[in-house]
Amino acid sequence: MTLERKVASFFLLTDENWMKHANPWSVYTRYSVLPLIVLAFWSRIWIGWWCLIPGLLAISWMFFNPIFFSKPKSTKNWASKSVLGERVYLNRDKVPIPDIHVTYLYSILNFISAMGMFLSIWAVVYYSVWGAVLGVALAYLGKSWYLDRMVWLYESMKSETEEYRKWEY
């Protein structure tokens, strides 16, 4: 089982929920999660421990966002294809992906995104505005580039299985 499949199961991403997550609204509103978390915990300077309420709401949004929206009317867009590519990537132990996609780039991009997230956490602890801005930007740069590579992967693989073909409509 791939690490990505374990993460997907944590977020309750069944076949039906993957298609809900392929809704562009799900993809684009998910970009709100890290800034909301940063702002929520930054607010401890103004509202003290009450910051846990918006913080927990933001973390809940991260968890429920992939299953909150309905299936998209069409998956022929960048956002939907990025999610479908993630599905293809996590399924690589069952359906091999082309050699050009067997690369450390995906791990590097996820590492960049994680470093941005950790910088954001550090910035919240030490009230560094520039650290928060840089951390969020770095996290989203890595994540956006990764999602773009997932679109490419899906485009490369969509004709490989009947299941992958059915995802695009």
Per-residue model confidence as pLDDT tens digits over 61-118: 998 998 999 999 999 999 999 999 999 999 998 999 999 899 899 999 999 999 999 9
Q: What is the pLDDT of residue 28?
A: 97
Q: Taking 90 as the threshold, does the pLDDT of residue 1 lie above it?
A: no
Name residue 86's amino acid: E
Burial of 161 (0-12, 13-18, 19+ CB in 10 A): middle
**Gap between the Cα atoms of 57 and 64, Å rounded:** 10
Is 67 within 8 Å of 21 (Cβ atoms)?
yes
Among 93-97, 120-124, 125-129, which is the least confidently predicted range? 93-97
Model pTM score: 0.88
Q: What is the pLDDT of residue 85?
A: 96
- Per DSSP, the three-state class of 17 is helix
Name residue 90's amino acid: L
Q: Across the chain, what does the average pLDDT equal?
A: 93
**Gap between the Cα atoms of 66 and 84, Å rounded:** 13
